[in-house]
Amino acid sequence: MTVSQQNSLTEERDKLKRINLRWMVFSGSLYTVSSIQKNWQESRDDCIQKGADLVTINSQEEQNFLNQFDKTMWLGLTDLETEGTWKWVDGTPMTERYWGPGEPNGRTSENCGHIKQFNVGKRWNDGNCNTKTFWTCEKKVSP
Ligand code: MMA
Ligand code: CA
């Protein structure tokens, strides 16, 4: 196969991937929930490759929206840069905090945030970033 044939196949593949992706609209953003499990960085890479990033939660409504998917999922939340300082990947301040009781408790071994349970109130957990779990990508719709 020539390089140009290979390039056009790659293009075709990426186009099909985009068509098959199901994005859900909620409050000015598009969301897609994974059906497979990956570690935090691989999950984030997948979102970036889709022109999105890991989801950030900025309201109770958005938390409720995510809960309906009934999945433990990575959030775009990490304190990898400075231990104990939790930041959203898009740089927005962490105004809403829905940590579960006693969380975050992982110090240096747990630096990535996820929704651990979705059927009860506040259940974010700091987990080990190498753990594989589901994830949600969020693409903010340009104004
Ligand atoms: C797990 C793990 C931790 C969490 C505790 C809470 C045993 O470890 O998910 O991140 O803090 O559970 O009990
Ligand atoms: Ca924890």
pLDDT per residue as tens digits for the range 23-59:
999 999 999 999 999 999 999 999 999 999 999 999 9
Question: Domain residues of the chain, as ranges?
Answer: 25-140
Return mean pLDDT, the chain: 93
Please determine, for residue 67, whether its predicted confidence score (pLDDT) is greater than 80. Answer: yes
Predicted local confidence at residue 79, as pLDDT? 96
Cis? peptide before 101, omega within 30° of 0: no
Cα 138 to ligand 2 centroid, rounded to whole Å: 24
Please determine, for residue 17, whether its predicted confidence score (pLDDT) is greater than 90. Answer: no
Give the Cβ contact number of residue 37 at 10 Å.
Answer: 16
Task: Tell me the residue type at 138.
Answer: E
User: Domain spanning 25-140 has what CATH number?
Assistant: 3.10.100.10
Minimal-distance CA residue to ligand 1 atom 9: 127
Predicted local confidence at residue 19, as pLDDT? 67
* Predicted TM-score of the model (pTM): 0.86
Cα 10 to ligand 2 centroid, rounded to whole Å: 40
- Report the pLDDT averaged over residues 113-120: 93
Predicted local confidence at residue 143, as pLDDT? 65
Q: How far is CA 131 from the centre of its chain?
A: 14
Look at residues 78, 37, 34 and name the one whose alpha carbon lies nearest to residue 52: 34
Q: How far apart are CA 66 and CA 87, in angstroms?
A: 19
Minimal-distance CA residue to ligand 1 atom 3: 127
Cα 46 to ligand 2 centroid, rounded to whole Å: 24
Q: Does ligand 1 come within 6 angstroms of the Cβ of 76? A: no
Q: Does ligand 1 come within 6 angstroms of the Cβ of 127? A: yes
